[in-house]
């Protein structure tokens, strides 16, 4: 079929069927429309009026159904539909995000179930970590997971209340440095990245977590004499009568085992009096130096 016949000419087209000619050429809508654009420009170039050009183009346009490859057209329609669905999805997400903006962080993160997943992700990464792993390997991991979940839910604005040990007391003797603490926080945030939590939520979560830093990181304190750490001289009863230790104990037949047992009892008493671990160690070192002067048996 020629344009002459298509537009009302007297000559009859005797060539191959238009569908057969184009069926394996894979002509797409885009290509057909481009050809139509060239044809329209050609009409206008030869001073054919716009109205007449428009009528001609409408007639020719009807051949598109026979020329454009159906499979390609179908794919294009599917692609267009997918694009529309994606646009709708993005619009809905934007609306949800706007509605959630004033909600607590815990809600925006997905609630407690999301924090449970975050905790699992965190411990999966931490347990094999050379730096952090040693702090958790000998602990009840399930208990630690529950405590961390509740703790995070609370600092992210949830209604659950953390009922574990006071943060400062729980970490007082763990010698956690700022570097170690930062690694802990970074690992939590990396776990959020794995969960594909939005970046702005990650930043907000990190800001909330960092509020615990002063309670967890152990800063060095000036060395204080043991006597002051235990409350000063007035807390001690008079234990020394002026006689040399060797003379005082030589006839008591105190054995090294007796002395060790005495030390254990003393340490137990100090713990009951809430002496710090550092103080107990300091006193222990002093007592060890006295052992040769007391234990002779």
- Over the stretch 206-233, which tens digit does the pLDDT of each residue have? 999 998 888 888 754 445 566 566 565 5
Q: Which pLDDT score, from 0 to 100, does residue 222 have? A: 44
Higher pLDDT, 187 or 42: 187
Q: Burial, 157: exposed, middle or buried (Cβ in 10 Å; 0-12, 13-18, 19+)? A: middle
* pLDDT at residue 74 greater than cutoff 80: no
Whether residue 237 sits in one domain with residue 183: no
Q: Which pLDDT score, from 0 to 100, does residue 65 have? A: 65
Question: Which residue range(s) make up the domain with 179?
Answer: 106-216
Whether residue 196 sits in one domain with residue 289: no
Q: Burial, 205: exposed, middle or buried (Cβ in 10 Å; 0-12, 13-18, 19+)? A: buried
Q: What is the DSSP letter of 135?
A: G
Question: Phi then psi for 263, rounded to 5 degrees?
Answer: -65, -40
Q: Which pLDDT score, from 0 to 100, does residue 237 have? A: 46
Whether residue 198 sits in one domain with residue 250: no
Q: Which pLDDT score, from 0 to 100, does residue 238 have? A: 44
Taking alpha carbons only, the member of 261, 252, 264, 265 closest to residue 293 is 252
Whether residue 194 sits in one domain with residue 96: no
> What digits encode the pLDDT tens for the residues 97-114?
655 667 888 888 888 999
CATH of the domain at 193: 1.10.490.10
Whether residue 120 sits in one domain with residue 209: yes
Q: Is residue 221 part of a domain?
A: no
Whether residue 118 sits in one domain with residue 212: yes
Whether residue 250 sits in one domain with residue 172: no
- What global pTM score does this model have? 0.43
Percent of the chain at pLDDT exceeding 90? 11
């Amino acid at each position: 079929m020629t344009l002459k016949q298509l537009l009302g000419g007297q000559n009859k087209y005797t060539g191959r069927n238009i569908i057969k000619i184009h069926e394996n050429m894979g002509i797409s809508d885009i290509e057909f429309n481009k050809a139509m654009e060239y044809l329209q420009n050609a009409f206008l170039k030869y001073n054919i009026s716009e109205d007449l050009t428009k009528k001609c183009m409408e007639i020719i346009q009807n051949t598109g159904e026979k020329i454009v490859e159906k499979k390609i057209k179908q794919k294009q329609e599917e692609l267009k539909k997918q694009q529309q669905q994606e646009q709708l999805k993005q619009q809905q997400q934007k609306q949800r995000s706007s509605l959630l903006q004033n909600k607590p962080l815990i809600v925006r993160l997905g609630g407690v179930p999301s924090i449970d997943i975050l905790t699992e992700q965190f411990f999966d990464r931490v347990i094999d970590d050379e730096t952090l792993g040693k702090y958790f390997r000998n602990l009840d991991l399930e208990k630690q997971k529950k405590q961390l979940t509740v703790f995070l839910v609370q600092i992210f604005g949830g209604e659950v209340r953390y009922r574990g040990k006071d943060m400062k007391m729980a970490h007082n003797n763990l010698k956690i440095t700022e570097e170690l603490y930062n690694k802990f926080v970074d690992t939590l945030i990396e776990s959020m990245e794995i969960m594909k939590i939005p970046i702005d939520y990650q930043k907000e979560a990190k800001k909330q977590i960092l509020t615990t830093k002063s309670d967890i990181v152990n800063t060095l304190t000036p060395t204080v004499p043991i006597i002051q750490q235990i409350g000063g001289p007035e807390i001690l009863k008079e234990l020394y009568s002026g006689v040399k230790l060797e003379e005082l104990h030589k006839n008591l037949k105190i054995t090294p085992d007796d002395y060790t047992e005495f030390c254990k009892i003393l340490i137990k008493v100090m713990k009951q009096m809430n002496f710090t671990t550092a103080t107990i160690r300091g006193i222990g070192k002093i007592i060890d130096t006295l052992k040769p002067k007391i234990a002779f048996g």
